[in-house]
Amino acid sequence: MKEQSFIPPSRMLMGPGPSDVSARVLEAMARPTIGHLDPQFISMMDEIKKLLQYTFITSNELTFAVSAPGMAGMECCFANLVEENDKVIICKNGFFGERMKENVERFGGIPVMVNDDWGQKIDLNKVEECLKENPDTKIVAFVHAETSTGALSDPKSLTELAHNYNCLSIVDTVTGLAGVPLKVDEWNIDAIYSGTQKCLSASPGLSPISFSEAAKEKIMSRKSKVKSWFLDLNLIMSYWEGEGGRSYHHTAPINALYGLHEALLILKEIGIENSWKKHMDNHLILRNGLEELGIEYLVKEEDRLPQLNSIFIPDGVDDLAARKRLLNDFNLEIGAGLGVLAGKIWRIGLMGQSSNKKNIEHCLDSIKQVI
């Protein structure tokens, strides 16, 4: 068989990510490639910084996009803030808390786990008890919006708790950014990372990230070198910080950054608070439709992410066969369960461009036919 140009099918992306990418963003990515140190490209990088500051609601100077997916954003935070024998409390209530633990171990830190059931939000009392038992803790790390379950935790209270015990906070908001309220400066978050393929509706491959002055000071006063060269912020700072000039660090993913720039412009046109409201309004429409089908949620209502809906697979329905039929017969992608929830739940994404009434109607009708 002779190889030929790949023409992907047109899908409705309603899984845990990626989400649908708008024609505007795709068109932006198709524009001519220029050099990564071209003055015009550098000017656009400055705009991306400002637009990300708007999106995170922060004035942090160290706000930029890591040239790799959200998991590289996670690794960037831990690589720069964790040193040998640093004790890190990790709040685990799903799949991605385990990845935090793995990062801490690889960078020589000592992970201390605070475990909650998958589908539950993080228990503040458990975290405080752990902080009392471990007064030498340096960092508290947690997931704001747990992609594996659709559970929403409270970053404001968790960060305040961390600071009360002289710790920095690391926050995973890969699925949270632009989908639910997030106020980095007001909540005094120290290090936070996200992804472009969720509620921002850009292509996968970049990780928006932001560091407070306290986090930046810790990075600059490290006793040892950061164990990742590519993610060493002492090197990256000279590439993204400041206006105008840039020092060479790596060749940026130029066209992907065009797409992120356009996606952030779209978000600013909508307004960040309107984006939060849109996700909640559409979640309620989906929830009502699922309840009419007799389908139940994993997460209790007050702790649910509006943009990531985890539902129990109805009795008698074959998980793989049903999702395969949704994809092949209805061009609809939804997500399977991860870890302990594999084969038990489906994850329906209502993120960014995918979060609209037409998609919801198609999703509900397709699921009704499949089950």
In DSSP notation, 257-298 reads HHHHHHHHHHHHHH-HHHHHHHHHHHHHHHHHHHHHTT--BS
Residues 6 or more apart whose Cβ sits within 8 Å of residue 160: 187, 188
* Residue 347 is labelled as binding a ligand: yes
The alpha helices in the chain, defined as continuous H runs, are: 23-29, 39-56, 70-81, 95-106, 124-133, 155-164, 213-220, 233-240, 254-270, 272-292, 319-330, 357-370
Residues 6 or more apart whose Cβ sits within 8 Å of residue 3: none
Q: How many CB atoms lie within 10 A of CB 351?
A: 28
List the one residue out of 268, 94, 95 whose CA is nearest residue 178: 268
For helices 254-270 and 272-292, angle between their N-to-C axes, nearest 10 degrees:
80
For helices 95-106 and 70-81, angle between their N-to-C axes, nearest 10 degrees:
40
SS3 at position 232: coil
Angstrom distance (rounded) from CA 128 to CA 111: 16
List the one residue out of 46, 43, 63 whose CA is nearest residue 55: 63
| Binding-site residues for substrate | 347
| Binding-site residues | 347
